């Protein structure tokens, strides 16, 4: 089976939101693992104004076939009008780790 593992990035406004999303994704078998990186400062344009925010970054490891469900779960629970949801393919990785990701999110 070809590797279709993905790393999905998603910022959250606070620790509580980050933990709630992380637990939902892992418990729902939508992600094998979610890391929370606190202390992120974001600069961005919103409604034609420069904004800054202290955020928490989620690093979500999943299979590409699970992306639509991950996106839906984030959109349903995220407090932002426009949450950051960016998926990056994992081109290479430890074979056993990538197999573990697939096993964790398998719907079989």
The predicted model scores a pTM of: 0.94
Instruction: Residue 26: give its domain's CATH number.
Output: 3.30.70.120
56, 37 contact by CB (below 8 A): yes
pLDDT at 1 over 50: no
Mean pLDDT of the chain: 95
The answer to whether residue 102 sits within a structural domain is no
Q: CB–CB of 90/3 below 8 Å?
A: yes
> Above 70 in pLDDT, residue 34?
yes
Longest dimension (CA), the chain: 47
Give the structural domain span for 16.
5-92
Whether residue 48 is contained in a domain is answered as yes
- Position 53 in a domain: yes
Domains: count for the chain: 1
User: To the nearest whole percent, how much of the chain has pLDDT over 90?
Assistant: 94
The pLDDT-based confidence of 8 (bands split at 50, 70, 90) is very high
Examine residue 12 and state whether it is found in any structural domain, yes or no.
yes
């Amino acid at each position: 089976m070809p590797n279709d593992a993905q790393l999905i990035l998603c910022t959250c406004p606070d620790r509580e939101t980050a933990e709630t999303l992380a637990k939902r994704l892992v418990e729902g078998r939508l992600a094998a693992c979610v890391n929370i990186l606190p202390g992120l400062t974001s600069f961005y344009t919103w409604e034609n104004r420069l904004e800054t925010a202290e955020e928490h970054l989620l690093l979500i490891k999943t299979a590409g076939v699970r992306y639509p469900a991950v996106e839906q779960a984030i959109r349903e629970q995220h407090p932002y009008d426009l949450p950051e949801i960016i998926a990056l393919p994992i081109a290479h990785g430890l074979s056993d780790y990538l197999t573990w990701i697939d096993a964790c999110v398998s719907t079989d």
